[in-house]
Amino acid sequence: MEPKVIKRIGVLTSGGDSPGMNAAIRAAVRAGFYYNIEMYGIYRGYEGMIHNEIKKLDSKNIAHVLERGGTFLKSARSEEFRTPEGRQKAYENLKAHGIDALVVIGGDGSLTGAHLFYKEFGIPAVGLPGTIDNDLSGTDSTIGFDTACNTAIQAIDKIRDTATSHDRLFFVEVMGRDAGFIAINAGIGSAAAAILIPEKKMPIEDLVEKLKVRTKAKKTSNIVIVAEGGKSGGAAEIASKVKKLLPYYDIKVTILGHLQRGGAPSSFDRLLASKLGVAAVEGLLHGKYDVMAGLINHKVVYTPIKKAIVDDKTVDEDDFRVAKILST
Ligand code: F6P
């Protein structure tokens, strides 16, 4: 597509925040300044676009944000943006500010919003994959995933200490609504006895059998990782089912929850976010609209948003194999 002349770009973060979003905003804004573009911050995601929470950014706004978790632009999940009336209001506000393109940082819902907006109003947008879940195609890793895995592993290491002292069985629930990426990474990285993820059903009987085998092998403490969207239920549900079948086990449940969404981004996420922030602005300037910028094999790749959100990115079968070998 022949590139439009772009003078003002709006940047927003939307949906669940993820560590590295600030680094991505900073990179996009700095890249914009480099190419003499006026940069605008749209606060509270699409909700702020509808309610006109839009401010011009200068270099002070993005000083010392790269290393901070969360998003200084704030984030929200907007119900109103799902309606044509909400999107119309949002468009009027962008028009009033003379914003001619968008960088949207978020997960599948946020990128779907950018896609719809492009289709309805022709506002060019480049999406960046900002979610701890890693459930977007078109990128090897999403911004925040690496940090979330590190956070989960550090927490599980601590649980391991107390589990060992008391010879206990712990069920640790990690985030990942429909995706087991955090669970499989954190599980392999923390020597879990078993990993339960949404993509694969493990019957309770199989889990119980596995635990019995480990007990016979004199493994007195065990950690089972459960993804929150697991097919057999959450950690609490699975723990109570297992307790019925193995009443002599001393069982505890820990839900890591939103702990995994915060914290300073890892070096991997800082680099990923920085590269993609620049790629978003350069993509817009080169006429790449309605795409998501991602990194595949260390190279920037632009994937149509529709494909990035629809294509099923699944946990690598080989990761399962490795997890199974290491927990037997
Ligand atoms: O999509 C990111 C995520 O952290 C999921 O892993 C989790 O299910 C969800 O967001 C939680 O959303 P909220 O913060 O709105 O409760």
Q: What is the 3-state secondary structure (H, E, C) of the chain?
A: CCCCCCCEEEEEECCCCCCCHHHHHHHHHHHHHHCCCEEEEECCHHHHHHCCCEEECCHHHHCCCCCCCCCCCCCCCCCHHHCHHHHHHHHHHHHHHCCCEEEEEECHHHHHHHHHHHHHHCCCEEEEEECCCCCCCCCCCCECHHHHHHHHHHHHHHHHHHHHHHCCEEEEEECCCCCCHHHHHHHHHCCCCEEECCCCCCCHHHHHHHHHHHHHCCCCCEEEEEECCCCCCCHHHHHHHHHHHCCCCCEEEEECHHHHHCCCCCHHHHHHHHHHHHHHHHHHHCCCCCEEEEEECCEEEEEEHHHHHHCCCCCCHHHHHHHHHHHC
**What pLDDT, in 10s, does the model give residues 57-83?**
999 999 999 999 999 999 999 999 999
Q: Which atom of ligand 1 is nearest to the CA of 179?
A: 6
Say what the pLDDT of residue 270 is.
Answer: 98
175, 261 contact by CB (below 8 A): yes
Buried b (16+ CB within 10 A) or exposed e, 104-141: bbbbbbbbbbbbbbbeeeebbbbbbbbbbbbbbbbbeb
Amino acid occupying residue 114: A
Rg (CA), the chain: 22
The torsion angles phi and psi of 94, rounded to 5 degrees, stand at -65, -45
228, 234 contact by CB (below 8 A): yes
pLDDT by residue for the chain (328 residues), tens only, comes to: 678 899 999 999 999 999 999 999 999 999 999 999 999 999 999 999 999 999 999 999 999 999 999 999 999 999 999 999 999 999 999 999 999 999 999 999 999 999 999 999 999 999 999 999 999 999 999 999 999 999 999 999 999 999 999 999 999 999 988 899 999 999 999 999 999 998 888 899 999 999 999 999 999 999 999 999 877 789 999 999 999 999 999 999 999 999 999 999 999 999 999 999 999 999 999 999 999 999 999 999 999 999 999 887 889 999 989 999 998 8
Per-domain residue ranges for the chain?
A: 8-144+265-310, 145-261
Say what the pLDDT of residue 229 is.
Answer: 82
Predicted TM-score of the model (pTM):
0.97
Say what the pLDDT of residue 274 is.
Answer: 98
Mutational pocket test of ligand 1: of 77, 110, 132, the residue with most ligand atoms within 8 Å of the beta carbon: 132
Cα(187) to ligand 1 centroid in Å equals 19
- The answer, yes or no, to whether any atom of ligand 1 lies below 6 A from the CB of 107, is yes
- The answer, yes or no, to whether any atom of ligand 1 lies below 6 A from the CB of 133, is yes
Question: In this structure, how many other beta carbons lie within 10 angstroms of the beta carbon of residue 307?
Answer: 12
Say what the pLDDT of residue 1 is.
Answer: 61
- The answer, yes or no, to whether any atom of ligand 1 lies below 6 A from the CB of 177, is yes
Q: Which atom of ligand 1 is nearest to the CA of 176?
A: 6
Say what the pLDDT of residue 109 is.
Answer: 95
The torsion angles phi and psi of 12, rounded to 5 degrees, stand at -145, 155
The CATH number given to 8-144+265-310 is 3.40.50.450
- The answer, yes or no, to whether any atom of ligand 1 lies below 6 A from the CB of 261, is yes
**What pLDDT, in 10s, does the model give residues 195-213?**
999 888 889 999 999 999 9
| C-alpha 77, offset from chain centre | 14
The CATH number given to 145-261 is 3.40.50.460
Distant-in-sequence, close-in-space partners of 197: CB < 8 Å, separation ≥ 6 = 176, 179, 180, 183, 184, 227, 230, 231, 315
| C-alpha 152, offset from chain centre | 14
| Cα distance between residue 195 and residue 218, in whole Å | 20
Amino acid occupying residue 302: Y
Report the mean per-residue pLDDT for the chain. 96
Say what the pLDDT of residue 25 is.
Answer: 98
Cβ burial, residue 301 (10 Å; 0-12/13-18/19+) = middle
Asked if the domains at 8-144+265-310 and 145-261 fall in one CATH topology, the answer is yes
Atom 13 of ligand 1: nearest residue by CA position: 16
Cα(235) to ligand 1 centroid in Å equals 16
Say what the pLDDT of residue 210 is.
Answer: 95
